[in-house]
Structure 1
Amino acid sequence: MRTFYYVHTGHRIGLDRFRRAAAILSTLQNEDITLLTSDYRIAQVARDFGIEKSVGIDVVRNIPQISHNGDKLIFDSSEANPIMLDDMRTYFSKFIRISDDIYDIKAQEEFLISPYLEGEGICNAVAVSDAFFGDFEKDVELTYFFGDDDYEKDLEKHFDFIEDLNPHLQLGFYYFLDYEDMLKEKFKNSFEFEEYETMIQRSKILLTTSPQAVLDSLASGGRPVYFQREDYPRDFVPFFDTLNVPILKNYDKNHLSVILETINDRKYEKIEQNSNKIAQFIKDSLNL
């Protein structure tokens, strides 16, 4: 009986779920868990994130090609329809689902990790790596992280949105090579993909479309601003409201200016260090 952890990743949806998985798996290093990703490329570099076993499986329907009936699964994806989820709950002996949907409902034959829901069989928490909790020198005033994916090159289309701010740029994972080279020339200072952790720790203000980056920045003592991309789910907006994280939409430069002018007066809520809580919940739920 084996344990798997599946995350939905790719060049049109980014790496938020992968970064969350890396945070969770870092607390379960003594457990034999194989990460499954829907993208072969990130599976190949997962070891750089401390993940010893990772396999790219292309699509969610390929999970049964590598697993067996009775195995255990942690599932972080919105791809599956209700019928597919019911099949998974039957196929796997233990099934944990990670959900960001405020209107979600826990099924009887599953365990759930959610920032919104509480109750039996539910872990009310968000996953942030322990590496982001601590006192860090914030020597970068502002960093812009559009996300790990930009297939349509929207960052380039909206340079006027941030160029007057002269921010550092955090480069993403799925950027085209010629696109990345152009961005490096456009921005005076930039962080490579591999420098994400350093970027979070050093950035005083982080303007980002990545929900996970918002959480990481908040944990590190930064002041994140969440920019809601049109092609990204809005699941985290209610949660960020409770943390008093400013939310920006539609490349609204005037709103961004107001946010930045008053950001030092904003009272951000602290985020809890939940790594041990989540790890214990997973161990208890999966009988590890």
Structure 2
Amino acid sequence: MRYFYYVHTGHRIGLDRFHRAVAIVNELQKEIDITLLCSDFRIAAEAKEYGIKRSVGVDLVRNIPQIAHHGDKMIFDSAEINPTLLTDMTQFFSSFIRITDDPSDTRHEKEFLISPYLEGENICNAVVIDARYFEPLPKTIPLALFFGDDDYEKDLEKHQEMFKPLNMELLMGFYHFLGYENSLKESFSTIYECELYDKVIQRSEILVSASPQAVLENLAGGGKPVFLQRPDYTKDFAPLFELLNVPIIDGYAQEQLMQGIKEASSQTYHEIKNSNTKVIEFIRKTFDL
């Protein structure tokens, strides 16, 4: 019997789920041998840089049974789910934990859930944020933008004029194309490479981001995030951000951006709790560790 964590990630969907996978797997691998399965082979290869001991790329979610065995245990972090797949997964794995961001989701009778919205039997109501982001570091970057780790259509380049008057600093995403930053130099005062992710997230006073996980990480460390709701992104996080008093900008309107930053400067944000211990204990109990 083996342990697996499957995460849906990639250049079209970003690394948000991967970041919380790192937070969970790094804790679990202290006591069990767990393999991270990534839907993106490049991220599977890079996972060791984040402390992950064992990671494997998976072409399709349906290929998981080619790696795992019947009776193994699984943590499943993906929206690639339907009733048939869910039934198959809960029958294949002896314990199946799913992480969901969907406020309208429901629990399958044979699965366990981790959700920021749902409560009840076999459900852990929590938000996963790596513990290191809760350290309140000095805020040396007044205003920054992190568009996200996915921008296949180069939407940031198309809409960069909305950010130009604000003299913002920019954190590049992991998947930006070679030379992409050259076209952005006139619109941002400073451009950071993706390797400086932690520095920018933790040290930004106000962070504008289309990455829900980056918003949560910045808030955890005492920052004042503003969520940029991209049209191509799910709106699953909107109810959570409303509860946390995080300003939300809907689309690429400069007027909304200015208003969101103004609100962030004077906003009283709700504190977000470090729920990692709660999540790990839920997993340990479910897996009988």
Partner of 1:40: 41
* Residue 181 (structure 1) shift: 4.3
Residue aligned with 2:280, SS: helix
Q: Aligned partners of 1:116, 1:172: CA distance in 2, in Å?
A: 28
Q: Aligned partners of 1:24, 1:119: CA distance in 2, in Å?
A: 22
Partner of 1:241: 242
Q: Aligned partners of 2:150, 2:19: CA distance in 1, in Å?
A: 14
Q: Structure 2: which amino acid aligns with 1:19?
A: H
Partner of 1:77: 78
Q: Structure 2: which amino acid aligns with 1:9?
A: T
Partner of 2:166: 165
Partner of 1:29: 29
- 1:27-75 deviation line (CA, Å, top 9, x unaligned): 2231211000100001111111111111111211111111111111100
Residues 62 and 4 from structure 1, CA distance in 2 versus in 1: closer, same or farther, beyond 3 angstroms? Answer: same
Q: Structure 2: which amino acid aligns with 1:152?
A: E
Q: How many residues are matched?
A: 288
Q: Structure 2: which amino acid aligns with 1:224?
A: P
Partner of 2:229: 228
Q: Aligned partners of 2:158, 2:183: CA distance in 1, in Å?
A: 13
Q: Aligned partners of 2:90, 2:139: CA distance in 1, in Å?
A: 45
Structure 2 contact 164–187 (Cα < 8 Å) conserved: no
Structure 2 contact 40–58 (Cα < 8 Å) conserved: yes
RMSD over aligned Cα, in angstroms? 1.2
Residue aligned with 2:98, SS: strand
* Residue 22 (structure 1) shift: 0.8
Structure 2 contact 248–260 (Cα < 8 Å) conserved: no
The runs of 5 or more residues in structure 2 that have no matched partner are none
* Residue 287 (structure 1) shift: 1.5
Q: Structure 1: which amino acid aligns with 2:199?
A: T
TM-score by length of 2: 0.97
Structure 1 contact 207–226 (Cα < 8 Å) conserved: yes
Alignment of 1:174-213 (within 5 A): 174-183=175-184, 187-213=188-214
Residues 151 and 193 from structure 1, CA distance in 2 versus in 1: closer, same or farther, beyond 3 angstroms? Answer: same
Q: Structure 2: which amino acid aligns with 1:264?
A: S
Partner of 1:267: 268
- 1:155-181 deviation line (CA, Å, top 9, x unaligned): 000011101111111111111112144
Structure 2 contact 225–264 (Cα < 8 Å) conserved: no
TM-score by length of 1: 0.97
Q: Structure 2: which amino acid aligns with 1:230?
A: P
Structure 2 contact 160–184 (Cα < 8 Å) conserved: no
